[in-house]
Amino acid sequence: MDYRIEKDTMGEIKVPNDKYWGAQTERSFENFKIGIEKMPSEIINAFAELKKACAIVNNDLGRMDKARTDAIAKACDEILEGKLEGNFPLVVWQTGSGTQSNMNMNEVISNRAMEIMGADFRAKPATDAPNFVHPNDHVNKGQSSNDTYPTALRIALVLELQKQILPAIERLEKTLDKKTAEFAKIVKIGRTHLQDATPLTLGQEFSGYAHMLKASKAQIIASIPFLTELAIGGTAVGTGLNSHPKFSELVSAQLNKQTSTKYAFVSHPNKFHGLTSHDAEVFLSGALNGLAANMMKIANDIRWLASGPRSGIGEINIPENEPGSSIMPGKVNPTQCEAVTMVAVQVAGNHASVAFGASQGNFELNVFKPVIAYNLLQAIKLLSDSIISFDEHCASGISANEEKISKLMKESLMLVTALNPHIGYAKAAQIAKTAHHNGTTLREEAINSGFLTAEEFDKWVIPENMIAPHE
């Protein structure tokens, strides 16, 4: 491999000649060969938006010339377009401030900017040349890793919530609303503790699932106002040293112009909070964990209701997507449900990592930022993808097995609950227990008990009348 020599404050180091990164990136690449988890692409793109906005604002404030500003902005655009892919090799498991990823961005942008301005960055133009772009003095001007990384994280989170998770939730929510209406008149037996309970409609059951998603969506949206508060302008410890008093406010406004955000970014009202705390990220992580719990519940219920199909509950039919066994011919499994439940388990683990990492905000800086970023963005991606897959390959194709539903409802002993207001709990319980012991029907034992007539039983025990309160 062809190498060039790069220098930084630590001395000289060999860097691959076909890459735009510099000495600090190379040192991190060599020193942290830990795992396979690379810095998420969403963070890279958010950094590109941020560096572009900072350059433009520095120019507006008279702190950087137009030529360098334009070159930096163009290099950032190329990152967003994927043209510089392969130049961001660093892993999550690096410095906890994300300093090395910030410098990776600075080095790539500065070298590409010099190239855009007609300089050979490998030969390094003179530091006083008009086409020289320094990674710290120009690309990182008025910034610190300590304020840029948490800012990039929040930019990434807000954009990904808007682009991925909220549309995915709304898609499945719409499907479940449709199934609620479709199943509105299908009366079935309810279940609590995995035992028979009083009747409800299949539509009512599905309405509960739909409302779970509505609640999760509301909780996620509630986190966004806190996530739009950006730490940029706080620099090293929150004081804003080497930044301009208007820098944070202007960068936030510039980001609102650049990005497709529906939610306006604002300057964090307290930069000391912005650098040392990630409570807003924990709030979001909790909402994502709640969504994962709801998806676990929905997927588990669906696979129970579809179980069998002949020896289980079998009240609904789910799409048959692929063979379920390498030995049992014709077997089909609830694979989409299983995928969702595995994602839910992973997200729960991610939430534990985020919450623990956020609790480690020692003094003026939290140094668990990359792991918080990785776990949150992975949770958003996994939940979004699994919800869309579950909707497309399972939920949208669910149908009711009305014959099985009717059979199970008629056999249930819990219809006896309708007799409580007429003969009392104790007598109704006696009828149900006798029917269960003798293997007979409720109607038979109710009549045999002498507590009511056949006509009264038929008048009072009507499943369709048991699905809502009555005066």
Tell whether residue 385 is among the known ligand binding residues: no
Q: Is 145 annotated as a binding residue?
A: yes
In the annotation, is 193 catalytic?
Answer: yes
| Annotated binding residue 101 | no
Say what angle helices 99-116 and 41-60 make with each other, to 10 degrees: 60
Between CA 191 and CA 306 the distance in angstroms is 14
- Cα(248)–Cα(143) distance, rounded to whole angstroms? 10
For 275, counting Cβ atoms within 10 Å of its Cβ (0-12 exposed, 13-18 middle, 19+ buried), the class is buried
Please classify residue 393 by burial: count the beta carbons closer than 10 Å to its beta carbon, then call 0-12 exposed, 13-18 middle and 19+ buried.
Answer: middle
137 annotated to bind ligand: yes
- Exposed / middle / buried, residue 406 (Cβ in 10 Å: 0-12, 13-18, 19+): middle
Describe the chain by its helix, strand, coil percentages, rounded to 5. Answer: 60, 5, 35
331 is in an annotated binding site: yes
216 is in an annotated binding site: no
Run of H or E residues at 400: strand 399-400
Ligand-binding site membership of 99 (annotated): yes
The one catalytic residue in 41, 325, 399, 436 is 325
Helices 66-80 and 41-60, packing angle to 10 deg: 160
Say if residue 40 carries a ligand binding annotation.
no
319 marked ligand binding residue: no
**Distance separating alpha carbons of residues 111 and 19, to the nearest angstrom:** 9
Please count the residues of the chain.
471
CB atoms near residue 345 (< 10 Å): 11
Q: Is residue 321 marked as binding? A: no
Catalytic hit among 41, 138, 193, 244: 193
131 is in an annotated binding site: no
Q: Is 377 helix (H, G, I), strand (E, B) or coil?
A: helix
List residues forming the annotated binding site. Answer: 97-99, 134-137, 144-146, 192, 326, 331-333
Query: What are the residue numbers of the active site?
Result: 193, 325
Q: Known binding site for substrate: residues? A: 97-99, 134-137, 144-146, 192, 326, 331-333
